[in-house]
Amino acid sequence: MNSMSLYCIGDLQGCHLPFQRLLEKIDFSASRDTVYLLGDLVNRGPDSLGLLRHLMALGDAAKCLLGNHDLHLLALWQGVRKAGRHDTVQSVLQAPDSAALLDWLRHRAMALQRHGWLMVHAGVLPQWTAAQTLVLAAEVEQALRGPDLKSFLTAMYGNAPSQWHDRLAGADRLRVIVNALTRLRFCTPDGVMDFASKDGAGAKPPGFLPWFEVPGRASQGTPMAFGHWSTLVKDARQIKGLRNNTLPLDTGCVWGGCLTAARLGATAGEFELIAVKCEQAQQPATD
């Protein structure tokens, strides 16, 4: 009998068939193994509905984080946003089991720490320790699961404040947490976030750094897995090891790249990569 395995997988974005093929390639067993999905489960790809149903059916074997596209789907559901021309989630909203799927989605995590790894969708601000990241993520999770979901989602959008302060409260506080965990790529050393640039790490705006390269980052001592940044690593073969103690796992499946799983080793920070190509590339769009 095979021993239990633990995996992290990058952004799925509705690419159900590659996900199925990746599970087959790693010989995944829901009764034995656990897979951690790093957010952006839905949108842009061809089968967000089938993918959500699959993930929900996996039960405790699939631990899912929420990304910006997943929050966008919840906002569409609650009527606080209108669908964009690149959205591919209408089938979820119109499905007979839509309410059950979206209620399941709103109960997913914003950050997790498991097996020595901190897992987020996008990034962590320089001031945040791993422990603080989890506490702040729980504040957003409480809002998502509470009775005022629509009010929270209505106030969630916007780029300001652009910097974390412990004294932030209310909607401003939750907005900064959401933006860091689901949208962050570049920030200044003191944590001012930039949301304009979506290019690779080499295209950093003046005065900004990739969030994981900020000197003295408070979470530096904890290995981290994250997704979101498809222009950071275009091919899993480019990942030779941890990058400033972080592992980027969005390898651009929906944009014609590959879908990548990291099999986590017995020691925190150890991993082995397994990838499959995505057969349906979408046209790049802003996210």
- Nearest C-alpha neighbor of 274 from the set 9, 12, 5, 3: 9
Question: Could you check whether the bond before residue 248 is cis, i.e. omega within 30 degrees of 0?
Answer: no
Least reliable range by pLDDT among 42-56, 71-85, 222-236: 222-236
287 in any annotated domain: no
Residue 241: the pLDDT is 82
Which of 217, 214, 208, 262 has the alpha carbon at shortest distance from 239?
Answer: 262
For the residues 12-27, what does the mean pLDDT come to? 97
Please say if the pLDDT value at position 58 is more than 50: yes
Tens of pLDDT, residues 166-193 = 999 999 999 999 999 999 999 999 999 9
CATH of the domain at 270: 3.60.21.10
- Look at residue 142 in the predicted model and tell me its pLDDT: 98
Task: Please report the pLDDT score of residue 138 as a whole number.
Answer: 98
What is the model's pTM?
0.95
pLDDT at 1: 45
Is 118 within a domain? yes
Mean pLDDT, the chain, as a whole number? Answer: 94
pLDDT score at 203 = 83
* Mean pLDDT (whole number) for 151-165: 97
The total of structural domains in the chain comes to: 1
Please report the pLDDT score of residue 279 as a whole number.
72
- Which residues, 6 or more positions from 151, have their beta carbon under 8 angstroms from its beta carbon? none
Among the residue ranges 44-58, 112-126, 135-149, 270-284, the one predicted with the least confidence is 270-284
Q: How long is the chain? A: 287
| Whether residue 235 has pLDDT greater than 80 | no
pLDDT, one tens digit per residue, over 81-127 is 999 999 999 999 999 999 999 999 999 999 999 999 999 999 999 99
| Phi and psi at residue 177, to the nearest 5° | -60, -50
Q: In the predicted model, what is the mean pLDDT of residues 9-26? A: 97
pLDDT digits (tens, 9 = 90+) for 218-232: 999 999 999 999 988
Question: Tell me: the pLDDT tens digits for 265-287?
Answer: 988 889 999 999 887 555 444 44
Provide the pLDDT for residue 57.
98
Whether residue 138 lies inside any domain: the answer is yes
Give the C-alpha distances (Å, rounded to integers) separating 100 from 37, 106, 157, 193, 200: 19, 10, 25, 35, 37
Does 199 reside within a domain? yes
In a domain, 262, yes or no: yes
Specify if 283 maps to a domain. Answer: no
Give residue 146's pLDDT. Answer: 97
* Interatomic CA distance for residues 110 and 136, integer angstroms: 9
In this structure, is residue 1 part of a structural domain?
no
Q: Is 285 inside any structural domain? A: no
Tell me the residue range of the domain where 214 lies: 6-277
